[in-house]
Amino acid sequence: MNKRYLSVFLTASLLLPLLSACGGGEGDQEESNVSGDGFSGEITVASWNVAADALTDAAETFMEQHPDATIHVEYVTSDYDSIIPPLTAGQGAPDVIQVQQRDFPNFLEIFPNQFVDLTETLDGRENEFAEVALNLTQKDGRIFALPWDLGPVAVYYRKDFYENAGVNPETITTWDKFIKAGKKIQEANDGVKMLALSLSSDDIAEMYRKLMNQLGAQYYDEDGRIQFATEENIKAIEMYKRFVDEDLVMDAPTWDDRIRAFVNDQVATVVDPVWYAGTIKTQAEDQKGLWGLMPLPAFEEGGPNQAHSGGSVLAVTTQSDDQELAWNFIEFALMTNEGQDIQMKYGLFPSWQPYYDTDNFKVEDEYFGIALSEFFGELSTDIPPLEYGAHYMDINNAIVDALGEIVIDGKDITEALRDAEQKAARDTGLEIAN
């Protein structure tokens, strides 16, 4: 997340007293302003990039079915520059907003009473969503958004590089075997590294988060106290460090650097979520048929091998004058087969699990030669929930610093994590677990 984004968040935090005065009482979360029959009126939905494209398509279909409804999709930036000010002021916010899953707990903390409580409206149907996504929409047992897309993680691999080394991807069932295979692949393919990861930017934590999530690790204990130096977190970092120490990693600090790595045939493997398939397809059209997919290797034979990265939610703001229309639209977009057909067309893998049984979910992808959604659906059944908490930015900053000290400078893992706990405690005001 960039510095500009962080400064906006800090500003919002400083203005919290003003927000509390403007935002109304606690009942604002649970009362809906019903407009007509729920299928008439006018709302604005704020979203960005391809997600906004998907919602625009969904809005057109919804309006065809309900001519008395008008849905405006407002294209905004993912740094929330146009969303945070009206939430802070308590007026002028869109009816529906997109928020990244990992950021939404922070929004619930900073903007109390600004999001409609959807718990009663869902009436038990929340169980239809993947737990790892639903977990990030809740506060005090109440649900304040619908989970949108999911980011189950897998291993994308270059078939030709693996074949040149005589490596069968089906045999790579553990990270130990992955490292061993990586050495063979690099020896057999000049100028190719097994992985392209950031070792010199804040993105250094991306791979770590996938490994920690795979192990079910957390940033906090059960009482919400900071706890980094756990067995699972240490184990995840030890594996990350092995990738680097075994010389399997090309330093690719930015998103664009990592794209250039696979476009220029410099990397044999990409460990990323389902949505990265679209990036590979659009950026390397000439590599069609060269990429395969396999599940994450486990830390131990038969161990857990699922993880999640990315994804967003859609939330209805209490400022909306047409909350029922807002709900009906997001219900159509995210909780119907027709709506999810549209989301899938734009590469947004659903966290709404009933869609996994449809024929469209199982269509084969021509670029990869497999049914992508079905493959990733099998990798999203047991993803451990990861609690990002209301102070994720400060938590992540401390982890980023620790990873740099460990991976680059060789600092002891436990010592670095203990120091990171102290930094996070100072920045968040949270206690450290014993």
pTM score above 0.75? yes
- Provide the terminal-to-terminal Cα distance of the chain, rounded to the nearest Å: 30
Residue 369 Cα to chain centre, angstroms:
25
CA distance 364 to 360: 9
What residue type is 27 in one-letter code? Answer: G
pLDDT at 37: 63
The predicted pLDDT at position 373 comes to 86
Q: How many angstroms separate the CA atoms of 334 and 342, rounded? A: 10
Helix axes 175-188, 231-245, angle to 10 degrees: 10
> 196 forms bridges with which residues in the sheet?
250
- All structural domains of the chain, each given as residue ranges with its CATH number in brackets, are 3-151+310-358 (3.40.190.10), 154-307+389-428 (3.40.190.10)
222 SS3 class = coil
The tokens 């460090």 sit on which residue?
A: 241
Q: What angle do the packed helices 337-345 and 323-335 form, to 10 degrees?
A: 70
- Residue identified by tokens 């939610």 is 313
Give pLDDT tens digits along the chain (434 positions).
Answer: 333 333 334 334 433 333 333 333 333 344 444 334 679 999 999 999 888 999 999 999 999 999 999 999 999 988 899 999 999 999 999 999 999 998 999 899 989 999 999 999 999 999 999 888 898 999 999 999 999 998 999 999 999 999 999 999 999 999 999 999 999 999 999 999 999 999 999 899 999 999 999 999 999 999 999 999 999 999 999 999 999 999 999 999 998 999 999 999 999 999 999 888 888 988 999 999 999 999 999 999 999 999 999 889 999 999 999 999 999 999 999 999 999 999 988 878 999 999 999 998 888 999 999 999 889 989 988 899 888 888 988 999 999 999 999 998 999 999 999 999 999 999 999 999 97
Whether the Cβ atoms of residue 341 and residue 360 lie closer than 8 Å to each other: yes
Which residues, in sequence order, are bridge partners of residue 75? Answer: 47
